[in-house]
Amino acid sequence: MLNRLVKKTLSISAIVIAIIVLGGFAYIEIGSNRATPITDFSAPFVFGQFRVPEDNPLTDEAVELGRRLFYDVRLSGNNEVSCATCHRQQLAFTDGRQTAIGVSGKALALNSMSLANLMWGPRHFFWNGRVTSLEEQALVPIQHADEMDQSLAELVDELKADSQYKSLFSVAYGRITNENIAKALASFQRTLISSDSKYDKYLRGEATLTEQENLGRKLFVAHPDVKASLRGGNCIDCHSQFLTSGFNTLYDGFSNNGLDSEEDLLPGLEEVTQIRAHRGLFKVPTLRNIALTAPYMHDGRFATLEQVLDHYNEGIKMSSTLSPLIAEADNSTKGVVTQASLNLTEHEKTAIIAFLHTLTDRQFIAEEKFSNPFD
Ligand code: HEC
Ligand code: HEC
């Protein structure tokens, strides 16, 4: 029944998307240049609507250019570090480190983030949400002293000296400028869509989950309700819907998931909004490809998914900004609780981990279009 509904809605949405895409991009002219609109670009309807900025439409040339830039070490001051140094395709665009290391060789404070389905979820980027577009984001690591440490003026000069970049920029955007470098990187990253995991195939009616995976799925999507004998892991309350990332309305995609107690809370979102109630809130990351993106959390403190589940089940630290969705989620029937705990069984925790593994998308990490064009 669900599958039939999914299929039906899929075909309707495919038509709708086709109309949007074809209608919106009948042709694209930037200055005197004509770039090729991407006409077959579509996304699973279950992800919801997506938006591409009007002043940076997706074109073949922009995406190709962005891909080159993403993998080009010339974006760093010492010509050794590219975006892909910290965002490796085979790790769903993370780096496998607890915290990232760039040109300075000094460990950064934060864990590098997976880059998938970036057109959905919170409209704020970085763990504390300090930028609001991919265009704005792209120039940050390039100039950051510990990440890529490159001056934009120097980068523009280096790219101008390369005839291939000259012609790519010319068709995609016109001139080689900071702004157009950022736009190209953003365009490439918008195409990083992961939607072919076992879970996606299950949603499309092309695969069945094992009993354990299915138990994990049910726990993932349920908020526990002892009175109704409903056991739940509560995950979808924050890792929302099919995307498993945070909500996109204002700051709803940010939460304090109980990693630290009051005195150890980092500012998090508070640094951006200056609102005290936002202390210790971080971006709810996507869980797609999560089995590939260890270590976990903004500071990479957990090495395994087992540790993550132990955290949610019995490691929650109380603080004034702890999400109420976590504080009150409890599967125990034993009355008064003093410590926030899910009280899931070992069997249930293992099932949730099995479900998380169904979010791995082998197609995504093997996709030629996302790989290093210099290889
Ligand atoms: C030295 C490692 C490093 C390099 C190089 C690097 N990144 Fe990152 N990236 C990170 C880290 C760490 C974070 C999280 C930082 C934060 O929250 O402040 C991040 C976050 C991001 C995000 C935000 C994702 C989200 O969901 O909010 C995007 C997008 C991104 N990087 C793209 C890029 C691009 C494009 C480049 C190249 C221009 C690049 N990165 C270079 C380590 C790196
Ligand atoms: C109240 C909201 C909330 C709930 C409920 C929640 N999470 Fe999270 N989750 C977050 C936030 C916020 C982060 C990032 C926290 C940080 O790094 O400071 C996160 C991070 C994670 C990470 C690490 C992701 C990464 O890329 O490092 C995993 C894995 C995870 N959650 C799994 C789960 C599972 C499984 C459940 C259900 C048992 C769950 N979450 C319930 C908000 C939530």
Q: Which amino acid is at 296?
A: Y
Domain count, the chain: 2
Do residues 183 and 240 share a domain?
no
CA 293 – ligand 2 centroid, Å: 13
Residues 178 and 213 in one domain: no
Domain match, 176 and 229 both: no
Angle at 16 between CA 237 and CA 25, to 5 degrees: 110
Predicted confidence at residue 323, as pLDDT, reads 96
- In terms of domains, do 187 and 221 share one? no
Q: Determine the structural domain holding residue 206 and report its residue range.
A: 198-359
Q: Is the CB of 38 under 6 A from ligand 2?
A: no
CB of 71 within 6 A of ligand 1: the answer is: no
pLDDT band at 21 (very low <50, low <70, confident <90, very high): very low
Rounded to the nearest whole angstrom, what is the distance from the C-alpha of residue 281 to the centroid of ligand 1? 19
Give pLDDT, residue 10: 46
Does 352 reside within a domain?
yes
pLDDT tens sequence across 202-224: 999 999 999 999 999 999 999 99
CA pair distance 92, 233, nearest whole angstrom: 25
**Does residue 245 fall inside a structural domain?**
yes
Residue 139: count other Cβ atoms within 10 Å of its Cβ: 18
Mean local confidence (pLDDT), 174-195: 97
Ligand nearest 244 Cα, by number? 2
| Claim to verify: residue 102 and residue 183 sit in the same structural domain | yes
| Ligand 2 site-directed mutation target among 125, 278, 312, 342, most atoms within 8 Å of CB | 312
What pTM was computed for the model? 0.92
Residues 169, 204 share a domain: no
* Choice among 28-42, 67-81, 185-199 with the minimum mean pLDDT: 28-42
Q: Are 241 and 278 part of one and the same domain? A: yes
Q: Average pLDDT of 93-109?
A: 96
Centre of ligand 2 to C-alpha 337, Å, is: 22
Residue 277 token pair: 């109630």
Of 153, 174, 194, which marks where a domain is finished?
Answer: 194
Do residues 185 and 223 both lie within one domain? no
139, 77: one domain = yes
- Does residue 368 sit within a domain? no
Q: For 167, list phi and psi in degrees, rounded to 5.
A: -75, -35
pLDDT, residue 150, reads: 96
Residue 367 belongs to a domain: no
pLDDT at 358: 98
CATH number of the domain that 326 lies in? 1.10.760.10
pLDDT at residue 162 in the model: 97
Domain-located, residue 371: no
Assess whether 149 and 62 both reside in one domain. Answer: yes
Q: Is the minimum distance from the CB of 92 to ligand 2 under 6 angstroms? A: no
Indicate if 348 and 306 belong to the same structural domain.
yes
Please check the confidence at residue 12 and state whether its pLDDT lies above 80.
no
Residue 63 domain flag? yes
Last residue of one domain, picked from the residues 154, 178, 194? 194
Which residue, of 194, 221, 252, is where some domain finishes? 194
Contacts of 6 (CB under 8 A, 6+ apart): 46, 203, 204, 205
Given pLDDT bands bounded at 50, 70 and 90, which one contains residue 39? confident
Q: Give the closest ligand to the alpha carbon of residue 116.
A: 1
From 241, 287, 301, mutation site for ligand 2 pocket: most ligand atoms within 8 A of C-beta: 287
Distance CA 144, CA 155 (A): 14
Question: Is position 94 within any domain?
Answer: yes
Q: Residue 329 falls within a domain, yes or no?
A: yes
Measured distance CA(345)–CA(331) in Å, rounded? 10
